[in-house]
Chains A and B, each alone.
Chain A
């Protein structure tokens, strides 16, 4: 009896195992197209670039890329001793530290404004603020160069009316980066605004009514209700913006080519240049340093802005 029961139990386990296998097989075969595409077009290149960062691959090796030498951490050692790399790190941090708060504050201000006072032309303003986000950077560059141009620029023209001789914004080592920061903030605040608008609409109106009854002013309401309840949205937008801003590239590429005197050369731009010079391994190692920096900054933001209940 006990023997038969055991046999029956084994049989059931076998069937269960087989059907589990079958299930897995069916599941994987459904997922196969995605898995294969992901492996070939995403995981493959990413892994290859990681391996590349530890070799001395250069443009002259492209005919037989497998014949390169592994050089261990040499690329990273060289990188941390590269004075130009540190210049680009400082430039990028400058851009991030000033640019992110500026963009977020501008976006938040636009969102709060649109959420309350302006009802009539809300759609018009929303489109207006969002337009730079979807406009090609090349078109933006043309317009901003017209604005910032030394002699024929609109800004210097206005300053001229006030009797001030305006500076050559993009060719001045001190002013070039702030000019690009303002331009980037202008370009990206629309995206922030849309995210913040969505966030603002989730805050229940009765909280404000209650605060009103308690006699809280506008500013107190903003600090006591809006900001705390907007925290998840703030976190999201800070993370998205910093991932984008750490890879700061397009603005200097179209406006200053990294100049004057490398004052707007960012880490991404330097990677781009090294890749252009054919130093593939060196560029790859730099990309991973940037990647680690992005992950690090994101974690810090989660710590600071994330839930701490």
Chain B
């Protein structure tokens, strides 16, 4: 008897839980121009603000926060530095536990999943989407609504040894796919480089090197209806081009840590694809410095149908649970001012996401930095779907199979498409 009664109680509780569960139906996302949320008051603000930022940004953001507090004496901004490695988990936990900060820096590729949780506040109309680089602003747009603004950006260019390129017959940077291939071949056959160009052969993040080539060929990752388009003929062509560097032994299939920089300085590697941080690394006397001064340069992505590169960086978001929405967005607005963006560039070398900031002499005057600014006008970001990280990992592993020759490019893109479709967009 007793047992049966207890069982009945358990069943009743379970039934209650089951009834309480179940999703409410969600509406589909609208397409077209990004919609913004209602404007926040632009009057004076007050109260406390908690801001999370990662890496160097987290360490130095206090400087800008001080300036902001000087302008808005009633606001107290508290900056918490979070290590990048722990950031994703920490934000996830905060959302689950309703303990989010007011403002946070977020990696651009995380926008899709965090926006999907419903924890992010839509960007108010006070901020002008057009003042940012288009590719960068798109990282904040999920299902047609913007949930934040880009704070800083990075894009990829090709670093190359100008002296080796000259020996290979290129006194000017190659501008097309065919010429890039020719330069890599020439660097190997005529200039004594072991590798013409280093492209990422696989592993985490290799999609960031591969997708620009796909975009240059006119391929897309996903269409307007939210269907993946990874197995298009353009994608196959792009992967064929990409893998031909490995087939021709122009690119290494495996590089040990630090071997890239050392190889480049020693003239063993003729070129590589990377972001702005490599300027500093190559100028560091411990790595390159005087040894290669005047012997390297940056080139715009090569032109096929387009000359598109990848844009990443960090976005600033405000959480819905913020008790101080007006002040939070005002702080974001402040960080997006051209002069503040320039100051930030001078402080931590982060490239400004705001176009007007690039008129400043400190950016325009630096030849290398200006090249990145130039490329930013033709840079694309991956789709902001909630499952992007997982789709990207599938692309990474198929790229690896293709570059290592265990699978043909045509089969690899088919496998990408099949995996991406089974993963879905998370909506």
A residues with CB within 8 A of B: 55, 58-63, 65-70, 149-152, 168, 171, 257, 259-262, 273, 276-279
- Chain A residues near B253 (CB-CB < 8 A): 171
**Cα of A304 to Cα of B113 in the assembled complex, Å:** 48
A260 touching B256, Cβ below 8 Å: no
- Chain A residues near B92 (CB-CB < 8 A): 59, 62, 278
B182 at the interface (CB under 8 A from A): no
- Chain A residues near B118 (CB-CB < 8 A): 60, 63
B21 touching A66, Cβ below 8 Å: yes
**Cα of A261 to Cα of B415 in the assembled complex, Å:** 14
Main secondary structure of the interface of A (DSSP, over half): loop
Per-position 1/0 for B87-124, Cβ under 8 A of A? 01000100110100000000000000100111100000
A277 touching B387, Cβ below 8 Å: yes
Contact of A273 (CB < 8 Å), options: B117, B119, B393:
B393
B203 at the interface (CB under 8 A from A): yes
Known: A59-B117, A63-B96, A261-B406. A68 touches B23 (CB 8 A): yes
- Chain A residues near B113 (CB-CB < 8 A): 59-60, 278
B203 touching A259, Cβ below 8 Å: yes
| Closest Cβ neighbor of B88 among chain A residues | A276
| Closest Cβ neighbor of B22 among chain A residues | A69
A63 touching B119, Cβ below 8 Å: yes
Contact of B404 (CB < 8 Å), options: A63, A150, A261:
A261
**Cα of A168 to Cα of B255 in the assembled complex, Å:** 10
Per-position 1/0 for B250-282, Cβ under 8 A of A? 000110100000000000000000000000000
B414 at the interface (CB under 8 A from A): no
- Chain A residues near B27 (CB-CB < 8 A): none
- CB B299 to nearest CB in A, in angstroms, measures 29
Further contacts, 10 of them, CB under 8 A, given A261-B404, A279-B390: A58-B386, A58-B426, A59-B113, A60-B426, A62-B117, A67-B24, A70-B21, A152-B256, A171-B254, A260-B400
Interface size class of B (residues with CB under 8 A): 20 to 34
- Chain B residues near A276 (CB-CB < 8 A): 88, 389
Contact of B390 (CB < 8 Å), options: A67, A70, A171, A277:
A277
Contact of A67 (CB < 8 Å), options: B23, B202, B389:
B23
- CB A62 to nearest CB in B, in angstroms, measures 4
| Closest Cβ neighbor of B392 among chain A residues | A277
Question: What total count of A-B pairs have CB within 8 Å?
Answer: 79
- CB A57 to nearest CB in B, in angstroms, measures 10
| Closest Cβ neighbor of A278 among chain B residues | B113
- CB A106 to nearest CB in B, in angstroms, measures 29
**Cα of A261 to Cα of B113 in the assembled complex, Å:** 27
Known: A63-B95, A66-B20. A168 touches B254 (CB 8 A): yes
- CB B114 to nearest CB in A, in angstroms, measures 8
- CB B417 to nearest CB in A, in angstroms, measures 15
- CB B33 to nearest CB in A, in angstroms, measures 24
Interface residues of B in 394-409 (CB under 8 A from A): 397, 400-401, 404, 406
- Chain A residues near B20 (CB-CB < 8 A): 66
- CB A75 to nearest CB in B, in angstroms, measures 13
- Chain B residues near A259 (CB-CB < 8 A): 202-203, 400
- Chain B residues near A279 (CB-CB < 8 A): 390
Interface residues of B in 353-397 (CB under 8 A from A): 386-387, 389-390, 393, 397
24 contacts between A and B (CB under 8 A): A59-B386, A60-B113, A60-B116, A62-B96, A63-B118, A63-B119, A65-B96, A66-B20, A67-B22, A67-B24, A68-B21, A68-B23, A69-B21, A69-B23, A151-B256, A259-B203, A259-B400, A260-B202, A260-B254, A260-B404, A261-B202, A261-B406, A276-B88, A277-B390
| Closest Cβ neighbor of B321 among chain A residues | A63
- Chain B residues near A262 (CB-CB < 8 A): 397
- CB B57 to nearest CB in A, in angstroms, measures 23
A70 touching B18, Cβ below 8 Å: yes
**Cα of A60 to Cα of B406 in the assembled complex, Å:** 36
- Chain B residues near A150 (CB-CB < 8 A): 254, 256
**Cα of A55 to Cα of B18 in the assembled complex, Å:** 11
**Cα of A262 to Cα of B23 in the assembled complex, Å:** 35
B204 at the interface (CB under 8 A from A): yes
A277 touching B389, Cβ below 8 Å: yes
**Cα of A66 to Cα of B117 in the assembled complex, Å:** 13
- CB B136 to nearest CB in A, in angstroms, measures 24
- Chain A residues near B88 (CB-CB < 8 A): 276
- CB A81 to nearest CB in B, in angstroms, measures 9
Per-position 1/0 for B7-43, Cβ under 8 A of A? 0000000000110111110000000000000000000
Known: A59-B92, A62-B92. A261 touches B401 (CB 8 A): yes
- CB A145 to nearest CB in B, in angstroms, measures 8
